[in-house]
């Protein structure tokens, strides 16, 4: 199999299978389809990263059956070739807000159980400055440092938009004051991005989990919080998934987990505003469709409302969607 030729075929094709960090293109070969995964050079990092995805997938072979197989990886050009996983994305079977199929709920519980038991020795080494095993306050500190960096990364127009929407200069202050209170738990492998678009269910009910680029070595409670934040679950599914994680987690991973789950859920709501003020703002500014602008502005208003309780005295006045749209026009579309 000529992998460079596969890359060249994929690079010229348009695809709807595009995430924030990668484009995914199905390419046919004489041995069946494969997935060519091409790194998006222009994407700004909005998430922590611990390893290269290819390095991790190679290490997971034999440890996490629900992860796709890695067939090839290259650095220049930057692409991977994965086994093609047939089936339907879970967001197609059950869009946000709808109950998840029973097979999906069981598969997520199985993934949590597997991840929580992958030995550290099987994984690639972490960076020298990565927090030591069990240092949950240090892990949370890295998460907070990332959000602070994102908040001050943009140009003057982005900074003006943050101010117009009332996003505090230090959106992490209340979380930083609480981070040292996190219970110390042993670190585990975290997927870091388990949501409906990253799960494929085939005709037999088997579920595969894609996109391991954001996998981390860290506090296992964070993986549950990140998952719940991104899934837009029904209250029943949310309860089921939380109970599933509790059943799956070894005793040493459950110390103080309920209180710390609330910490990380609040963090995710706060981070979502910092990241999506930029992403949604650019989407609003980039469309002439009035209905689309209104929809995106309503979504961003919801994110601001969810983050507001975590800003204490710095909490901004709630913004109406029309105010958000006007702020985007004023800040991002000025000449």
Q: What is the DSSP string of 40-60?
A: -TTPPP-S---S-HHHHHHHH
Q: pLDDT confidence of 3, banded at 50, 70, 90?
A: very high
Task: State the angle between helix axes of 321-332 and 290-307 in degrees (0 to 180), rounded to the nearest 10.
Answer: 110
**What does the mean pLDDT of the chain come to?**
93
According to DSSP, the residues that pair with 72 across neighbouring strands are 81
Q: For residue 198, what is the DSSP state?
A: G
Q: Which helix (H) or strand (E) holds 126?
A: none
Task: With a cut of 80, say whether residue 318 has pLDDT above it.
Answer: no
Question: pLDDT tens digits, residue range 12-50?
Answer: 987 766 667 899 999 999 999 999 999 887 668 899 999
Q: Is 59 exposed, middle or buried (0-12, 13-18, 19+ CB in 10 A)?
A: middle
Contact 147, 270 (CB under 8 A): yes
The β-bridge partners of 73 are: 80
At 311 the pLDDT is 86
CB 187 within 8 A of CB 311: no
Q: Which of 237, 232, 307 is nearest to 266 (CA)?
A: 307
**pLDDT of the residue at 316:** 60
What residues contact residue 156 under an 8 Å CB cut-off, 6+ apart?
A: none
Q: What is the mean pLDDT of residues 153-163?
A: 93
pTM, rounded to two decimals: 0.94
140 in helix, strand or coil?
Answer: helix
Q: What integer pLDDT is reported at residue 231 of this predicted model?
A: 96
């Amino acid at each position: 199999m000529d992998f460079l030729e596969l890359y060249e075929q994929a690079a010229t094709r348009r695809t709807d299978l595009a995430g924030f960090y990668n484009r995914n293109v199905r390419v046919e070969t004489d041995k069946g389809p494969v997935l060519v995964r091409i790194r998006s050079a222009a994407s700004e990092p909005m998430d922590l990263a611990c390893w290269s995805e290819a390095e991790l997938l190679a290490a997971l072979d034999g440890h996490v059956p629900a992860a796709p197989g890695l067939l090839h990886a290259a650095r220049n050009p930057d692409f991977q070739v994965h086994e093609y996983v047939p089936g339907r994305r879970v967001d197609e079977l059950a869009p946000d807000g709808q109950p998840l199929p029973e097979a999906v709920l069981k598969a997520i519980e199985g993934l949590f159980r597997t991840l929580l038991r992958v030995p550290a020795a099987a994984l690639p080494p972490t960076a020298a400055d990565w927090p030591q095993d069990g240092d949950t306050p240090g892990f949370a500190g890295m998460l907070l440092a990332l959000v602070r960096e994102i908040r001050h990364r943009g140009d003057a127009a982005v900074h003006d938009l943050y101010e117009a929407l009332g996003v505090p200069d230090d959106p992490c202050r209340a979380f930083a004051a609480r981070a040292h209170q996190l219970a110390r738990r042993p670190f585990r492998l975290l997927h870091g991005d388990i949501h409906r678009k990253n799960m494929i269910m085939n005709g037999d009910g088997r579920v595969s989990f894609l996109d391991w680029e954001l996998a981390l070595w860290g506090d296992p409670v964070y993986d549950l919080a990140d998952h719940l934040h991104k899934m837009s679950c029904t209250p029943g599914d949310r309860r089921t998934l939380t109970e599933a994680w509790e059943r799956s987690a070894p005793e040493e991973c459950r110390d103080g987990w309920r209180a710390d789950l609330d910490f990380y859920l609040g963090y995710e709501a706060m981070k979502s505003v910092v990241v999506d003020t930029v992403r949604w703002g650019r989407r609003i500014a980039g469309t002439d469709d009035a209905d689309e602008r209104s929809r995106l502005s309503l979504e961003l208003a919801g994110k601001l409302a969810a983050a507001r309780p975590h800003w204490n005295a710095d909490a901004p006045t709630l913004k109406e969607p029309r105010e958000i749209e006007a702020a985007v026009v004023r800040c991002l579309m000025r000449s």
